[in-house]
Amino acid sequence: MKYTQLGRTGLKVSRLVLGTMNFGPQTDEADSHAIMDAALDAGINFFDTANVYGWGENKGRTESIIGNWFAKGGDRRDKVVIATKVYANMAADGEAWPNHDKLSALNIRRAVDASLRRLRTDHIDLYQFHHIDRNTPFDEIWQAVDALVQQGKILYAGSSNFPGYKIAQANETAARRGGSLGLVSEQCLYNLAERRAEMEVIPAAREYGLGVIPWSPLHGGLLGGVIKKEVQGGRRASGRAADTLADPAARARIQSYEDLLDKHGLEPGETALAWLLTRPGVTGPIVGPRTAEQLRSALRAVELELGDELLAGLEEIFPGPGPSPEAFAW
């Protein structure tokens, strides 16, 4: 496994991030524990989750699965950089009770303590804001975060799904207050087929020293050889991937992508991950394996070297927006 610093911090993290969103809803606890053991054995030390994972009446279930794994001992907790998130309403389903969601100081304090209980740990390494809160000023957010850092409950703060201007606003507020690191990471939708983050989000993250953590690196399976799997009688596309393939022009683009990689003898999913690892500012993509084999495939991407010819071919199929403001101005 290869490692890098998380943004401008001294924290070393693996270049693949283990996403845990499937733990509970799609992968049972025993298999989830086996995947985490395999990830740790492979050198992945960066695990990502959120308080809401488990969803519906099982909100918080994923954190509990991770907590039970930590409780097995074997230095599991000490070896893992655990990242979780706050924003979603964690009140019982059907109870729209005030102050159980978003980023008020009250909810941040409540949510941290609840996550710590479920994770069965005394601190969270990276506490991420899952979405922007238009109604809570950053002065209040940083007041709450700074108190938690002083109490030893969290070490770093990060964002997720933030636009570039909110990254700037958050860190300028932190700098004005003094004594706070501000945001050290941004978790955003970014992959070969979805490159809008290159216009504003990634430039802002790099300017302020945030590590970029792409989610959905295979774009809902679209970049994982979906057409080839259909032809071979395997799992058919569903959700966002199926909707995209219904467009003839989009399907032709994905077919060109798969043909290019077939020419080079490469697997689509592994190549999509390896491409992200070449991108400036990227710490590591989040991989969310449902099985041990999916984890092994993701691990191969770390060692994959993409040549200039292949990179040029990928750029031709999936052109980025270009640098801003030139992308939208003269």
pLDDT digits (tens, 9 = 90+) for 195-221: 999 999 999 999 999 999 999 999 999
- Assess whether 208 carries a catalytic annotation: no
Which tens digit of pLDDT belongs to each residue from 45-72? 999 999 999 999 999 999 999 999 999 9
Residue from 3, 53, 156, 257 carrying the catalytic annotation: 53
Q: Is the peptide bond before 325 cis (omega within 30 degrees of 0)?
A: yes
pLDDT for 234 equals 65
Distances (CA, A) of 172 to 86, 177, 179: 21, 9, 12
Q: Is the pLDDT of residue 247 over 70?
A: yes
Residue 145 to residue 155: CA distance in whole angstroms: 9
What stretch of H or E contains 177?
helix 164-177
CA nearest to 298, candidates 194, 193, 212, 223: 223
Residues 3 and 81: beta-carbon distance below 8 Å: no
Which tops the pLDDT comparison, 62 or 235? Answer: 62
Residues 245 and 227: beta-carbon distance below 8 Å: yes
Q: Is the pLDDT of residue 239 over 80?
A: no
Domains, in order of start, for the chain: 3-221+267-317 (3.20.20.100)
Distances (CA, A) of 213 to 5, 18, 287: 12, 11, 11
Residue 164 to residue 168: CA distance in whole angstroms: 6
Residue 102 to residue 107: CA distance in whole angstroms: 7
Residue 115 to residue 90: CA distance in whole angstroms: 11
Joined together, the tokens standing for residue 112 give 């941290």
Share of the chain above pLDDT 70, in %: 99
Residue 105 to residue 100: CA distance in whole angstroms: 11
Q: Half-sphere exposure (CA, 13 Å, Cβ side) for 147? A: 12
pLDDT for 95 equals 77
Characterise 246 by phi-psi region: left (phi > 0), alpha (psi -120 to 50), beta (else). alpha
Which tens digit of pLDDT belongs to each residue from 97-121? 889 999 999 999 999 999 999 999 9
Backbone angles phi, psi at 227, to 5 degrees: -70, -45
